[in-house]
Structure 1
Amino acid sequence: MNTNEKKISRKIAPSKSANMVETIYGCKWSLTLYQLLKEGINRPGEMVRCVDGLTTKVLNQCLKRNVEFGILEKEVFNELPPRVEYRVTELGEQFLAILDQLDSLQKHIDSQN
């Protein structure tokens, strides 16, 4: 190799997206939450009623984390009684596609064992 040629620089892991994946997979309810949203269930009270073992406190923590990451957006309606709905953002759609790819990869790995 000629010493004047450029070398390839060291590849650094994408820390923010890797942290998102770790946090989401670390939360046992996030994947269930995404499933509910895909089925059109976007109000917290309905989510809690649909899933055994899911509490309002845990759901709110999970939703807050997803909003902070930019995966979900929260819409608060100025009504009585108060109404809140969650939607997947454009970034969230990209993120969910990556999670689907990870799921496919896991199924492929499992089929080889």
Structure 2
Amino acid sequence: MNNKLITFSRKSAPEKSARMVETIVGCKWSLTVYNLLNNDIHRPGEMVRSVEGLTTKVLNACLKRNIEFGILEREMFNEIPPRVEYKVTTFGHKFIKILTELEKLQAEIDDSNL
């Protein structure tokens, strides 16, 4: 009989992605911004007008955080008056899919009263 002792090293959480999920989900406006972008609302002023309680200052902080993580990108147009639009990056689409799966998991938990 071959009794090999197998040892496993401690598995750590994926540090950067876990921090990203925590930061984005912790921001109460990020998921709303993704919903706005999904509904073709790309300009900051239109975002603020579309959501009750959302201020320009809070939106700008939220957008900046999402840009730093590579989820969103800012597009500036050389026009007068200046125009800025935001869109989801390729990486952002992957990230939003993960958040969507987390929402589905939460719905299952809510339905089963776990």
Query: Which TM-score band (shorter chain)?
Result: over 0.9
Q: Which residue of 2 aligns with 1:60?
A: 60
SS in 2 for 1:91: helix
Name the CA distance, whole Å, in 1 between partners of 2:95 and 2:111. Answer: 25
Residues 91-113 of structure 1: CA distance to partner in whole angstroms, max 9, x if unpaired?
A: 10010000000000000000001
Q: Which residue of 1 aligns with 2:4?
A: 2
SS in 1 for 2:40: coil
Q: Which residue of 1 aligns with 2:81?
A: 81
Which blocks of at least 5 consecutive residues in structure 1 are unaligned? none
1:45 corresponds to 2:45: yes
* TM-score for both structures, normalised by structure 2: 0.93
> How far 1:9 moved relative to its partner?
2.6
> How far 1:7 moved relative to its partner?
3.0
CA RMSD of aligned residues (A): 1.0
**In structure 2, what residue type is equivalent to 1:23?**
T
Q: Which residue of 2 aligns with 1:12?
A: 12
Alignment length, in residue pairs?
A: 111
SS in 1 for 2:110: helix
Name the CA distance, whole Å, in 1 between partners of 2:100 and 2:65. Answer: 20
1:108 corresponds to 2:108: yes
Which blocks of at least 5 consecutive residues in structure 2 are unaligned? none
SS in 2 for 1:108: helix
